Amino acid sequence: MSRRSFLLASALLASLACAASAQEVTVGVTLGATGPGASLGIHYKNAFQLFPKTLGGHPVKYIILEDATDPANAAKNARKLIAEDKVDVIMGSVSVPSTTQVAQIATEAKTPMIALSPVALPPDKLEWTFVVPQPVPLMMSAVVEHMKTKGVKTVGYVGFSDSWGDLVLKALEQHANPAGIKVVTNERYARADTSVTGQVIKVLAANPDAVVVGGSGTGGALPHLGLVERGYKKQIYHNHGTVNREFIKVGSKAVEGAIAPTGPLIVPEELPADNPIKKVAGEFIQRYEQTFGAGSRNAFAGYSYDGFLLLNAAVPGAMAKAKPGTPEFRSALRDAIESAKNVVGAHGIYNMTAKDHTGLDNRARVLVQVKDGAWRLMK
């Protein structure tokens, strides 16, 4: 090859490389696979290993940072991903306090965000944020409906002393009060606490017909263990932040009978054949357990996967309007996510609108119960 031919070939290769880079979508992710939310965060992070190398048919690069379930770290990661890595979209995190911090930064920077846990912000503050998990009121409505069928009149509450505990209590009261069910306690504990004896004694003193725990992950097992150890034999309910194998490992036989709302992906084999989510949920669970072991299914990996599916559906529309790495692309991607219709995920079917950045309905919830050491569908 002559020198002139060599230079021409080199220039062509460089040009092709630049073109490919210009078409690559960059996704920034902040997750807490360590710290008090580790039992959730590990699963959130695992799911990214199962994603394809493309997003909407275009190359994708994921930049995943660890935030140790610390809201300050999550905020720092978000600013780095946006300012230094120039990401097109941001995903995270594993707790409400951390995710809320990231959502505020995403709004400031006009960068679309896929929230992987609920966000403690009003809808008018979520212009750039789309929330994958089911709204807490949607899930707690299923819990209250079950209470009504069992004649529950009073319920004790013990939950985290942060925004997650606030969200669960607010949703419980929203549905319990109209149903004639009185919430008789409001006890709180920190995620890192190792004892809740004082809170449990106060709940027992109120002698409620049932108890709702507003914790998440293994932290949700602590009050349940305390109540059972002190002789409480009535129904104990949890929320969709609790449904994983680690909760059952920590709680062991004490959590047998625990009831919680969750998405269909936990029990795809038990869903009727005509359930529209059964196929997607079943295929994802099969791949997850093939990679991470039998029984490793959990709700949290499914939230990461549904976030991927939403972006996978939205990217082609944004690509038609702008190139990745530009403000125009980030704006077009935000608009495309907001226009998502009938995106079938592992948790539900997403139909976003300008007023609803979650887009889920009752198809995204089922009640499950711990039986023989596993979460099983309640029928």
What would the pLDDT profile of 232-243 be if each residue is shown by its tens digit?
Answer: 999 999 999 999
Return the pLDDT at 160.
96
Across the range 272-278, mean pLDDT stands at: 96
Query: Coil, strand or helix: which one is 30?
Result: strand
Residue 56 scores a pLDDT above 80: yes
pLDDT of residue 18 exceeding 50, the answer is: no
Vertex 325: Cα angle to 319 and 330 (nearest 5): 60
> What pLDDT, on a 0 to 100 scale, did the predictor assign at position 61?
98
Q: Return the number of other C-beta atoms located less than 10 Å from residue 181's C-beta.
A: 22
Picking from 229, 271, 275, the residue whose alpha carbon sits closest to that of residue 253 is: 229
Phi, psi of 210 (to 5 degrees): -155, 165
65 pLDDT above the threshold of 60: yes
**Mean per-residue pLDDT of the chain:** 94
pLDDT, one tens digit per residue, over 99-108 is 999 999 999 9
- The whole-number pLDDT of residue 3 equals 54
d(CA 325, CA 56): 16
What's the whole-number mean pLDDT along residues 42-67? 97
3-state secondary structure of 377: strand
Task: For residue range 289-303, list pLDDT tens digits in order.
Answer: 999 999 999 999 999
- Average pLDDT in the 131-144 region? 97
CA within 13 Å, CB half, 353: 5
| pLDDT at residue 5, as a whole number | 56
Residue 17 reports pLDDT greater than 90: no
Predicted confidence (pLDDT) at residue 13 exceeds the cutoff of 50: no
Residues in the chain: 379
Residue 129 confidence (pLDDT) above 50: yes
Using only C-alpha atoms, what is the Rg of the chain?
A: 22
Q: What average pLDDT does this structure show over 123-151?
A: 96
Give the pLDDT confidence of 76-123 residue by residue, as tens digits.
999 999 999 999 999 999 999 999 999 999 999 999 999 999 998 988
User: Distance (Å, rounded) from C-alpha 21 to C-alpha 60?
Assistant: 10
Question: Do residues 46 and 292 make contact, with C-beta atoms less than 8 angstroms apart?
Answer: yes
The answer to whether residue 63 scores a pLDDT higher than 70 is yes
Rounded (10°) angle between helices 38-47 and 299-319: 40
- What is the residue type of 73? N
Task: Give the distance between the most distant pair of CA atoms in the chain.
Answer: 90
- CA 379/CA 372 separation, integer angstroms: 16
Distance of alpha carbon 309 from the chain centroid = 14
Which is more confident, 38 or 7? 38
Tell me, what's the pLDDT at 297?
92
Query: Residue 9 above 70 pLDDT?
Result: no
How far apart (Å, rounded) are the C-alpha atoms in residues 148 and 299? 26
Q: How far is the C-alpha of 340 from the C-alpha of 321, rounded, in Å?
A: 16
CB 130 within 8 A of CB 157: no
Assess whether pLDDT exceeds 80 at residue 6. Answer: no
Q: What is the mean pLDDT of residues 267-291?
A: 97
pLDDT at 22 over 50: yes
What pLDDT does residue 2 have? 56
- DSSP label of 66: E
> Percent of the chain beyond pLDDT 70?
94
**More confident of the two residues 351 and 10:** 351
CA–CA dist 238, 131 (Å, integer): 21
CA distances from 156 to 146, 161, 173, 237, 243 (A): 15, 15, 11, 10, 20
Token pair of 60 as six digits: 């994708």
Distance, in Å, from the CA atom of 12 to the CA atom of 33, rounded to the nearest integer, reads 42
Distance CA 295, CA 330 (A): 38
